[in-house]
Structure 1
Amino acid sequence: MIEYIKGEIVELSPTRMVMECAGIGYELNISLSTYSAFNGKPEGRIYVYEVIREDAHLLFGFATKEERELFLLLTSVSGVGPNTARMILSSIPPVELVQVIASNNENVLKSVKGIGLKTAQRILVDLKNKVKLTGVATEPRGIPSEDIQEEAIAALLMLGFQKAASQKVVATICKNSPTLPVEQVIKSALRML
């Protein structure tokens, strides 16, 4: 198993990263929290979880070991796969997610696309005694960009949302809050879609 990859960040979008290490480019599926941690950096170290299926070998990347641990805990819940776990971590920052689980707040989990009442309750029941209120700390940081709307729409499309709905929501968010960084635009859009 791969523990982490350290190298040059060749490509970075809110849902995907390509990191080059020893001449090999690794494509990693990432959350918005991880995107925020690496945004603007030329290189770094990303913690990895590998998913091997019949039809694909996928790498999921995380800025911290704590975020990876939350991802693994989420995927241990019946009905929560890697993409759903990534969607949860993109919608709710790791620090907040730990508090949501510890406080048994199913409404916040239900606000994530693809999470219904039963899945939210299952996550809370299964993980209540497994999460720790300390140790998970990632703060999002945004940088100004001329293409925030396009980048946000592209990220939403990669997460499975329809183009027309994504464009409408992103346009509304950017009109109301033009100074928001792309990760905040995407988080707001995830709550509205």
Structure 2
Amino acid sequence: MIAQLQGQLVEKNLTDVIIDCAGVGYFVEISLHTYSLIPDGDLVKLYTYMLVREDAHRLFGFMEKSEREVFKLLISVSGIGANTARTMLSSLDPSQIAQAIANGDVRTIQSVKGIGAKTAQRVILDLRDKILQVLEDPQISVLPSNRGREEALSALETLGYLRKQAQKVVDKILSSNPDASTEQLIKEALKQL
């Protein structure tokens, strides 16, 4: 298996890159998250995952090891293929996915195109225990179940804010003040949005 590639960046597209390693050009599929992290220089290093199927050999690249680990966990879930996992990592950051899984946030996972309610629930059910073990990121923590959080997010959505944006702000508020009421969450979030 190919675990990482380091070489000259020959071509950079939104969904893939070509990396020249000692004269061999590797076609590597990437997410938008990785695309945004790839520097514009000549030299690039990607952590990779090689997916071998009967009909294809595909190489996926990631700027961060944590993103590769989340990708591997996602494709282990029944009903989630490599393309769906890559779409999830393009729509949400790896830490957002991990946070949503850890907190049982079906709506965030379901916000990804192609993910329905049943698939989102299956992802949470299958990966809830595994996700925190894989990621040693101290920023990812299981937030206490807070009914006010969901009410605040719904209210902010009604006011026209994107759920992903509102969720980041509300989670930040809750991490510093876990006992915040729904009203406090909405007021603080409106100041920061």
TM class by shorter-chain length?
Answer: 0.5 to 0.7
Q: Which runs of 5+ in 2 are unaligned?
A: 140-193
SS class of match (1:129): helix
Compute the displacement of 1:33 (Å).
1.0
Compute the displacement of 1:57 (Å).
1.1
Q: TM-score, normalised by structure 2?
A: 0.68
CA distance in 2, matches of 1:105, 1:44: 34
1:43 counterpart residue number: 43
Question: Aligned pair count?
Answer: 137
Q: CA RMSD in A?
A: 1.5
CA distance in 2, matches of 1:13, 1:100: 28
CA distance in 1, matches of 2:84, 2:68: 14
The structure showing larger relative contact order (alpha-carbon pairs under 8 Å, at least 6 residues apart) is 1
Compute the displacement of 1:87 (Å).
0.4
SS class of match (1:126): helix
Compute the displacement of 1:49 (Å).
0.7
- The one-letter amino acid paired with 2:107 is N
2:63 counterpart residue number: 63
1:111 counterpart residue number: 111
- The one-letter amino acid paired with 2:32 is L
Residue correspondence of structure 1 range 30-179 to structure 2 within 5 A: 30-132=30-132, 134-135=136-137
- The one-letter amino acid paired with 2:137 is G
Compute the displacement of 1:122 (Å).
0.2
Q: Which runs of 5+ in 1 are unaligned?
A: 138-193
CA distance in 2, matches of 1:39, 1:64: 13
Q: TM-score, normalised by structure 1?
A: 0.68
CA distance in 1, matches of 2:22, 2:40: 21
1:157 counterpart residue number: none
